[in-house]
Structure 1
């Protein structure tokens, strides 16, 4: 009996040891007496970023790596404009190239999101990017032409001197817009000037005469240091401008990221500007989202093209054979994890999305601090539809001569765009802004238990009763009338772009919702960085690794589709020897009819 008992104890002990060893092979714990002493630095911890736990690459390699599900020539992370454009061009360059595109959400398009408001035919509701400038955005123009997409003018109505501006509850017309009649506290030499005139005086007081014709990255200040070391607010202060001079520019530009101390040289950098009536904007008639959708559709026509939807990439590890293991998890069910492997990896992501990926080069490359060279804010869009003719076509508002285009306000509504319908079609208004103005609307969108959903199709964020009530109140102020004259909207639609505010994403087929963190709306260069020198460096942080970063975030066309295409083309030429698209395809003839480039 004792011999049998001893034998059973021996067998049980053996099974426990073997079981622990087997569990370790599957990535579990190691029994204390079998644990090896770690080498110095192997278990260093990194700070946690974003909303996902950060693990250590060395610690990952201490356990056997999972087998790659598939091997690819190229792994592209991000199904926005830069990602699908890269996939499309790579597949066209070599149809036998094995490419996988990994996207965290259940849709292609990134920050291009086009929806249709019921009974509104004058335009799609562009909840994301809404336009491009063909004369400046050459790559976008070539792609739109290649995809056969129909375009139309995106009307700004900048030449309408009768359109209203609302500055601190004072309504005035554009043609009468001078600081003399506005509730602003300005210095004597600023009174009577426009915001653009004050900005020009700031530029003259900050940049010496001999530098004013130089490229912006080579400009110095009267104090002897580079202009790019100054922020926008710094420049106004050093030029002895008043605080309200900056607020005046903020009010008439329509965006608050200008006064968030962005790089002063970037503000002078040649790019399309909304303040010039001659700048010709275009839109895709069926929606801007058709651009990435069309690129993706053509990419998927190739035999070796693969797209994985609803998968969030968490880590990149370089293998002994020089390839890369890309780890990802299901966006809805993070416990569902897997990996793919590839010879090259392309990250088409925003700054915050990049920070959530574990990759040694982010921490160890000498150029890694350059990732901090940009920052982002939040932005919102709110659409309301009305019966036609809408309130702004009533005789009471005839003096403003509104049909299409925008008006501006210092209220949270900020930029208001008008889309006048024809006949029985509904008309539409879009409110659009950033920074604290977006935060105002965000706080009215999240508490749906207390704020019932009021109107319209729910895309991501719900549109609540307090939100619509506030929109109508601000429309009344901006048009110098009462809420009852504005009328009741038929439908409403709201979208918030923020890396910090989660949204509910509806799962196809089930009707259930999951939580997803949307991306930043756009990025701007921080003061202290010479962006014309470093944007190309960021594309390949580590020259010894075949991992590349693209997207509008670190481009010379931030906030535009062109920025994503621009960095993608730079990467494609560097890593694959593929020339820029405008050198491969004939430029569309319609570009030659565009207005000449007009910039500050």
Structure 2
């Protein structure tokens, strides 16, 4: 197989990779720019699949929403893409609700409506202090954050102002960036209030021990200051697919199932192996999360030199399981209000301390709730330690070897290389095992107070802890000055034009906004 030389090689076809490729092709139309992707799809952790027999719904096995009010880059990008896309390919969004008063919280064996936290606090099965009693889980955490960094929850502050306040703050005589989020929270609230924040909040990893100076402004953006989410009518993966199509139309190349290994810098050029072929590049971009960089570093001494930077974040687990049904049976879990009007459970989420953790009543492609006919649940949206529960109900977790051997492809890879136009992710690629489906059905029945739930027609899952991702998102480590590292890692070595981008090393970790932020920073650096 003949070796090949390209001007710019990009490893990783997630949002940051294809976006960088597109922008560079616009700026340098004559250069040969190639994106190499180890998986079978463009989009990275954006993965939208069509459930069988439900043409008006799209399951989001990866990222599923944006926050337009605090995410200007993705908002502007969608507007720009829509100027180039024909009417039938426009990227459209809809309001994506989360907490609805009538929805359920099944915690410590007690059934609650989400409204009960404020209207019937005596029902809440946590030993809360007088100050926390009658508050929601989110407001308890907000009040704690305000005590840690006074003034930071003021609604008129910008995102940048909140980040600066947290970066410059100290708590208990120690700079905030040197402390863990969990550690400082337990200095201002007791363990029962903290556990309520975890259980009713639906997430384990967000309140875990990561860098408090990053966690606090991140939490306020995502959950704290009246967040208004938007979902995608045709699936979030439409965004990177549209970018990739524009890049390819301009003459760029995207090669799928193309796993890179043995990266080195010699004679003023990068060399790496892909499917037994040596690729040479004058400039190299790693558009990858930490775990993927670690895997490549196992065979690449040049990346081992920058481990101090790449290891400044920690991958966090994330698991999603979708199930489909003949009808939206969860509507029967509603209640009759004081006006004698029945209010169904039909949108947003319910939460539980069972391993399923969060269940979203999935909307139709126009954002409207399913009222009849075939319907779908995001049956389990799970992070943190609870993801390990599902390991016993699935094939062995796939971990790539970290020895000097060449890094393998993903589970069930296609043979040889493919281009972005040749493959399409399907529901059946991610089919959930029978035991997993039976267990999630049992837990759904429990959390909804039902002895029986209708048969699951189809189920698909994605565990983002599998290699090469290592997690669904990344968080800054305690003691790291993220505002310095994010600038250094863009171009970590002076001797060569190696660049790194992606959500892992951004201010908006876990969001496409973070991927775009670091890509823009990198592109500006490349233009210098």
Residues 282/478 of structure 1: CA separation in 2 closer, same or farther (3 Å cut): same
The 8 Å contact of residues 164 and 400 in structure 1, kept in 2 or not, is answered as: no
Aligned to 1:181: 123
Aligned counterpart for 1:323 among listed residues 246, 262, 269: 269
User: How far off its partner does 1:299 sit?
Assistant: 0.9
State the distance in 2 between where 1:499 and 1:267 align.
24
**Gap runs ≥5 in structure 2:** 83-89, 155-160, 337-341, 365-369, 398-425
SS across alignment from 1:269: helix
Q: Please tell me whether residue 555 in structure 1 is matched to residue 506 in structure 2.
A: yes
Aligned counterpart for 1:374 among listed residues 307, 313, 316: 313
Aligned to 1:419: 362
Q: Please tell me whether residue 136 in structure 1 is matched to residue 70 in structure 2.
A: yes
SS across alignment from 1:75: strand
**Gap runs ≥5 in structure 1:** 1-66, 331-336, 449-456, 501-516, 578-600
The 8 Å contact of residues 114 and 128 in structure 1, kept in 2 or not, is answered as: yes
State the distance in 1 between where 2:28 and 2:455 align.
55
Aligned counterpart for 1:491 among listed residues 458, 461, 471: 458
The 8 Å contact of residues 177 and 478 in structure 2, kept in 1 or not, is answered as: yes
Aligned to 1:53: none
State the distance in 1 between where 2:313 and 2:343 align.
39
User: How far off its partner does 1:115 sit?
Assistant: 0.7
State the distance in 2 between where 1:544 and 1:369 align.
17
Residues 204/84 of structure 1: CA separation in 2 closer, same or farther (3 Å cut): closer
Aligned to 1:312: 259
Matches within 5 A, 1:267-278: 267-269=215-217, 273=221, 275=223, 278=226
Aligned to 2:405: none
Aligned to 1:568: 519
Q: Please tell me whether residue 228 in structure 1 is matched to residue 177 in structure 2.
A: yes
SS across alignment from 1:315: strand
Residues 166/340 of structure 1: CA separation in 2 closer, same or farther (3 Å cut): same
User: How far off its partner does 1:130 sit?
Assistant: 0.9
Residues 494/400 of structure 1: CA separation in 2 closer, same or farther (3 Å cut): farther
Q: Bigger radius of gyration, 1 or 2?
A: 1
User: How far off its partner does 1:132 sit?
Assistant: 1.3
Aligned counterpart for 1:150 among listed residues 71, 91, 94: 91
The 8 Å contact of residues 461 and 496 in structure 1, kept in 2 or not, is answered as: no
Aligned to 2:329: 391
State the distance in 2 between where 1:209 and 1:310 align.
49
Which digits, 9 at most, give the CA deviation of each residue in 1:140-163, with x for residues without a partner? 2222223323312142243x3222
Aligned counterpart for 1:162 among listed residues 98, 102, 108: 102
User: How far off its partner does 1:553 sit?
Assistant: 0.5
Aligned counterpart for 1:73 among listed residues 1, 4, 7: 7
Aligned counterpart for 1:346 among listed residues 253, 261, 285: 285
> What is the aligned residue count?
471
Aligned to 1:84: 18
State the distance in 2 between where 1:324 and 1:447 align.
35
The 8 Å contact of residues 147 and 294 in structure 1, kept in 2 or not, is answered as: yes
Matches within 5 A, 1:30-109: 69-109=3-43
User: How far off its partner does 1:308 sit?
Assistant: 2.5
User: How far off its partner does 1:211 sit?
Assistant: 12
State the distance in 2 between where 1:443 and 1:216 align.
44
Aligned to 1:199: 141
Aligned to 1:257: 205
User: How far off its partner does 1:379 sit?
Assistant: 1.3
Q: Normalising by the residue count of structure 1, what TM-score does the alignment of the two structures yield? A: 0.73
State the distance in 2 between where 1:458 and 1:153 align.
23
State the distance in 1 between where 2:442 and 2:152 align.
50
State the distance in 1 between where 2:187 and 2:204 align.
20
State the distance in 2 between where 1:395 and 1:371 align.
47
State the distance in 2 between where 1:121 and 1:210 align.
44
User: How far off its partner does 1:481 sit?
Assistant: 2.2
Aligned to 1:434: 383
